[in-house]
Structure 1
Amino acid sequence: MNKFRLWLTLALGVSYCASLSAQQDTALEAQLRGLTALHRGKVAIFAKDLNSGRTVAIQADTPVPTASVIKLTVLFEALKQVQAGKAHFEDRLRLTKDNQVEGSGVLSFFDTPQTLTLKDVLTMMIIVSDNTATNMAIDKLGLKKIDDRIQWLGLKDTWLYRKVSKPASGPMPADQKQFGLGKTTAREMAAVMERFATCNLNAPGETAPPTPKDQKLCQVAMHMLRNQFYRNSIPRYLETMDTTEGESKIANKTGALDHVRNDVGVVDAKNGPVIISEFTWDNQDTSWTPDNSAEVLMAKAAKIIVDRWQ
Structure 2
Amino acid sequence: MEKLLVGKSLEDQLDTVIKELAPKGNISYIVLQFDDEEESTIIASKGENTIHSSASLIKVLIMEYVFHLARTNHLDLNDTVPLSRTPRVEGGGALQELVAKHSFSYLELCRLMMVLSDNIATNLLITVLGMENINARAEQLGVEEIELNRMMMDFEALAEGRDNRMTAMALARLYKHIFECRDRDAFGREMWNILGRQQFRDILPFYWGEDVRFHHKTGSLDRVEHDGGILETFRGHFCFILLMSDTDNDRGKELGARVGRIMKEFVEEALP
Instruction: Report the TM-score, using the length of structure 1 for normalisation.
Output: 0.78
Deviations 1:158-182 (A, max 9, x none): 201021124788xxxxx9945x541
Write the distance in 2 (CA, Å) between the matches of 1:164 and 1:190: 22
CA RMSD of aligned residues (A): 2.2
Contact 1:104–1:129 (Cα < 8 Å) also in 2: yes
Which residue of the partner structure matches residue 200 of structure 2?
Answer: 230
Write the distance in 2 (CA, Å) between the matches of 1:93 and 1:78: 13
Percent identity at matched positions?
22
Which residue of the partner structure matches residue 294 of structure 1?
Answer: 252
Contact 2:109–2:122 (Cα < 8 Å) also in 1: yes
Counterpart pick for 1:251 among 201, 208, 215 = 215
- Pair 1:185-2:143 in alignment: no
Amino acid at match of 2:8: T
Counterpart pick for 1:89 among 74, 77, 80 = 77
Which residue of the partner structure matches residue 43 of structure 1?
Answer: 27
Which residue of the partner structure matches residue 23 of structure 1?
Answer: 4
Task: Tell me how many residue pairs correspond in the alignment.
Answer: 261
Structure 1 residue runs without a partner (length 5+): 1-17, 170-174, 201-209, 243-247, 287-291
Write the distance in 2 (CA, Å) between the matches of 1:251 and 1:145: 25
Contact 1:162–1:168 (Cα < 8 Å) also in 2: no
For residues 54-73 of structure 1, the aligned pairs below 5 Å read: 54-73=42-61
Which residue of the partner structure matches residue 143 of structure 2?
Answer: 155
Amino acid at match of 1:223: N
For residues 200-215 of structure 1, the aligned pairs below 5 Å read: 214-215=184-185
Write the distance in 2 (CA, Å) between the matches of 1:31 and 1:76: 33
Contact 2:143–2:174 (Cα < 8 Å) also in 1: no
Counterpart pick for 1:218 among 169, 173, 188 = 188
C-alpha distance 168-141 of structure 1, shift in aligned 2 (>3 A): farther
Write the distance in 1 (CA, Å) between the matches of 2:163 and 2:215: 23
Write the distance in 2 (CA, Å) between the matches of 1:199 and 1:97: 31
C-alpha distance 141-37 of structure 1, shift in aligned 2 (>3 A): same
Amino acid at match of 2:27: V
C-alpha distance 79-98 of structure 1, shift in aligned 2 (>3 A): closer
Deviations 1:77-103 (A, max 9, x none): 111101111111101111017432111
- Pair 1:34-2:16 in alignment: yes
Write the distance in 1 (CA, Å) between the matches of 2:125 and 2:85: 15
Structure 2 residue runs without a partner (length 5+): none
Instruction: Report the TM-score, using the length of structure 2 for normalisation.
Output: 0.88
Which residue of the partner structure matches residue 231 of structure 2?
Answer: 267
